[in-house]
A and B are shown apart, each in its own frame.
Chain A
């Protein structure tokens, strides 16, 4: 049988051959290339005012040679100097995009990340004025709540990438086990409505706490305790794509 009559097989063989060739070519020349870049980098860094502080590491996290250096040790320097250093290193022929170890989402971690709590506040402000209403003893939302859901979706958009907890509450009419189930069903109903409006489902968590946590200053029997609360419990900011332009950090 002639293998050239089976195009997918030929294409796959070609791709594998290219994979092997790339490994071979890069394996032979990449370490030397990266070593050349890392010997040229210190001069540029010193020229830009970062001598003694900043080092450029031309290795990936797994230790493979890379054109994209990780700059470490720039913490005490001001933004302008850091920008100058990044430009200087990026202008060495062959160098790709720059990353700073302390200013990049992909770097070591351990530093405080920006918490977009403002959207939690925006949503709470919306829900203070009006609330998502449910039919009594049911997890079906009132028809009027649709518009409010729309506004909540708009307010939640800046938090995309964060993990948002939807908590359902009830008043204390009725037995507590039922209340917890009901509040959790209501939270799930809100989650489903948000997902329907385009909020990614993997960023939404739900729980029902029944009547255990009434609104401060209200009697547990007050129907106003039937409510939904939103809170941002964790942030996973959307990672910026590394591009081949030097940035201050």
Chain B
């Protein structure tokens, strides 16, 4: 796996985690 893809996967996972956390905190209320 090339390095750029490893970076992409890690950043994508972090992004998904962020979306999940953000949604669970602020998303439910609205």
Contact = CB atoms under 8 A, between A and B. Distances in A.
Contacts, number: 45
A34 B4 contact: no
Contacts of A22: 4-5, 7-8, 11
Given A11-B19, A18-B12, A18-B15, A26 B1 contact: no
A60 B6 CA distance: 13
B3 interface: yes
Contacts of A68: 1
A15 interface: yes
A99 to B, nearest CB: 11
Interface of B: 1-8, 11-12, 15, 19
10 contacts: A18-B11, A22-B4, A22-B5, A22-B11, A26-B2, A26-B3, A27-B4, A34-B3, A64-B3, A67-B6
Contacts of A134: none
A65 B1 CA distance: 9
Interface residues of A, number: 21
A66 B1 CA distance: 6
Q: Which of B1, B4, B8, B15 has the most CB of A within 10 A?
A: B4
A67 B11 CA distance: 17
Q: Which of B1, B3, B19 has the most CB of A within 10 A?
A: B3
A30 B2 contact: yes
Interface of A: 11, 14-15, 18-19, 21-23, 25-27, 30, 33-34, 60, 62, 64-68
A23 B12 contact: no
Contacts of B7: 22, 25-26
Contacts of A62: 2
Contacts of A23: 4, 8
Q: What are the 8 A-B residue pairs with the smallest beta carbon separation, nearest first? A: A26-B4, A22-B8, A64-B2, A30-B3, A22-B7, A26-B7, A18-B11, A26-B3
B15 A15 contact: yes
A15 B3 contact: no
A67 B3 CA distance: 6
B18 to A, nearest CB: 9
Given A22-B8, A62-B2, A65-B3, 11 more contacts: A14-B15, A18-B12, A22-B4, A25-B7, A26-B8, A30-B4, A33-B3, A60-B2, A64-B3, A66-B2, A67-B6
A243 to B, nearest CB: 12
A65 to B, nearest CB: 5
Q: Which of A11, A18, A21, A27 has the most CB of B within 10 A?
A: A18
